[in-house]
């Protein structure tokens, strides 16, 4: 029997979330948060909520036409409503510059008659003063005409010599430094695709030059049967067909038809991730293809319910948490490290509130990705056989006290029974990983490979802890 969880009262169902355990960046419960897929799909049971409203590029629920309704003045992002027009003041009235009184003979600013008597040279010869004024006026007119001719010549020739409008000369920009967001984007963008259907869009990662693409199961679920297409980094598009899907792991593989010479992504080792290291998310949030966002690994081993499956806690992911902005449409796209290696597949977001009319809220810096080592194993099985498996130990579990997961029942003949585990045992560690609650135990087991041997630290009420090796079993999930 595969794992399921129950609440302390014994009622089956997922727990509200993990507690803090101080291990590998684990944090406190998302008590006020809602976990949502940044893509499409149905409800995931109590404790978490997956929004079921698909998104168009405009952010409105898919299936509607047009852009979102205009914002009201109250929500105009700080711009506010425009000022109400006031009464017209009529045509603008010109006044003499400087406040000089008007003079019917000399115009604006002409000196009064008594100031003209002395003439320009200070004698009684008023005609000499007038001649001087005429000479000055002629010289000013000539200077104005010459200056105007020069200025007109400059403007008519389009010359910008000596101004900041000149074309800058010099060497081109240096190459992007290794590990920079620019360098990571240049590596990952050519291997990222947009998955488009009539009901929405998501993202994907190129696995082979001849068209194999990995994405989320919930991205395909929205557009299945509606003519899905992959849109590549150069803008070309090709229809895709399903290779295989694993809803409980939220991983799917498709193949694009009639393509070649695609650039496969370089897949990294997610077991080497460290809390705080830089990562970059690439995808098509809200239909905006080729979008790059950056952040860090906020936490590791974060139990999060997978999208696209109603299996409850049996589809709990051991997720990478990041503060890189992830929004609807990023689902299925890559989360890359500083070397441009894909270390996770973006799959879910947490939001405190949702928008109106069922719309998902935006990123608040709580995004989640499926670790690449888990995604790689599932995708490999899907490509090879069209089916995938998941590890199990054959128990039902519930939260146990302040820390750990209590085994509620053991399946006869299962891995746990064969290892000697019994109902009432309290599991506090899987190998060297502390187990905070039932969700953490399920995530730790399901992120492992079937057939792998793990060591459980187990205690009973009043008993000393003991180490129990368990060889993991498997179940088909796709």
Tell me the catalytic residues: 218, 250, 331
Beta-carbon count within 10 A of 330 CB: 33
Total count of residues recorded for the chain: 478
Helix (H, G, I), strand (E, B) or coil at 372: helix
Alpha carbon of residue 22 to chain centroid: 27
Mind giving me the DSSP string for 234-282?
Answer: TS-EEEEEEEEEEGGGTEEEEEETT-----PPPB--GGG--TT-EEEEE
List the beta bridge partners of residue 316: 305
CA distance 478 to 476: 6
CA distances from 131 to 106, 119, 134, 466 (A): 16, 9, 5, 118
* Cα–Cα distance, 59 to 57 (Å, whole number): 6
Nearest CA to 414 out of 435, 443, 445 is that of: 445
Tokens of 449: 């490979």
Structure tokens at 394: 């054959």
First CA to last CA distance, the chain:
17
Question: Could you give the CA distance from residue 215 to residue 227 in angstroms, rounded to a whole number?
Answer: 16
Strands (DSSP E) along 109-220, which ranges? 192-197, 200-206, 212-215
| Residues in a beta bridge with 303 | 318
Q: Among 44, 448, 65, 99, which residue's Cα sits nearest to residue 250?
A: 44
Which token pair is 194?
């947009």
Residue 44 to residues 178, 272, 304: CA-CA distances in angstroms?
40, 30, 11
| Distance from the Cα of residue 204 to its chain's centroid | 14
């Amino acid at each position: 029997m595969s794992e399921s969880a129950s609440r302390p009262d014994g009622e089956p169902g997922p727990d509200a979330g993990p507690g803090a355990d101080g291990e590998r960046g684990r944090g406190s419960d998302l008590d006020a948060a809602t976990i949502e897929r940044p893509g499409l799909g149905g409800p995931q049971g109590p404790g978490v909520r997956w929004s079921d409203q698909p998104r168009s590029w405009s952010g409105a629920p898919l299936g509607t036409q047009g852009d979102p309704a205009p914002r009201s003045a109250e929500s105009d992002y700080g711009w506010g409503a425009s000022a109400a027009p006031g009464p017209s003041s009529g045509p603008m009235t010109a006044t003499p510059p400087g406040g000089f009184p008007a003079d019917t003979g000399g115009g604006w600013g002409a000196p009064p008659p008594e100031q003209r008597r002395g003439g320009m040279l200070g004698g009684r010869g008023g005609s000499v003063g007038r001649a001087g004024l005429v000479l000055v006026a002629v010289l000013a007119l000539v200077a104005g005409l010459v200056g105007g001719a020069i200025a007109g010549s400059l403007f008519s020739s389009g010359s910008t010599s000596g101004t900041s409008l000149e074309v800058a000369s010099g060497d081109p920009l240096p190459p992007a430094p290794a590990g920079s967001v620019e360098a990571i984007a240049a590596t990952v963008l050519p291997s990222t695709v947009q998955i488009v259907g009539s009901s929405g869009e998501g993202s994907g990662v190129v696995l082979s030059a001849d068209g194999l693409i990995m994405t989320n199961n919930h991205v395909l679920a929205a557009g299945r049967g509606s003519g899905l297409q992959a849109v590549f980094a150069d803008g070309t598009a090709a229809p895709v067909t399903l290779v295989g899907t694993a809803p409980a792991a939220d991983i799917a593989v498709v193949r694009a038809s009639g393509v070649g010479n695609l650039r496969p992504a370089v897949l990294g080792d997610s077991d080497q991730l460290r809390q705080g290291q830089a990562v970059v998310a690439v995808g098509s949030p809200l239909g905006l293809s080729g979008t790059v966002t950056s952040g860090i690994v906020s936490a590791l081993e974060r139990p999060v319910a997978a999208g696209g499956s109603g299996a409850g806690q049996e589809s709990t992911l051991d997720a990478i948490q990041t503060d890189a902005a992830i929004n609807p449409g990023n689902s299925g796209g890559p989360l890359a490290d500083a070397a441009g290696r894909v270390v996770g597949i973006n799959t879910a977001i947490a939001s405190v509130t949702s928008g109106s009319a069922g719309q998902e809220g935006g990123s608040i810096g709580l995004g989640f990705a499926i670790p690449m080592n888990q995604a790689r194993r599932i995708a490999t099985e899907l490509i090879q056989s069209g089916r995938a498996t998941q590890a199990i130990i054959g128990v039902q579990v519930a939260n146990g006290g302040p820390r750990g997961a209590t085994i509620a029942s053991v399946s006869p003949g299962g891995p746990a029974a064969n290892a000697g585990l019994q109902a009432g045992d309290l599991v506090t560690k899987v190998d060297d990983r502390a187990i905070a609650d039932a969700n953490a135990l399920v995530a730790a087991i399901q992120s492992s490979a079937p057939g792998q041997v793990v060591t459980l630290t187990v205690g009973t009420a009043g008993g000393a802890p003991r180490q129990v090796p368990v060889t993991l079993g498997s179940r088909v999930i796709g």
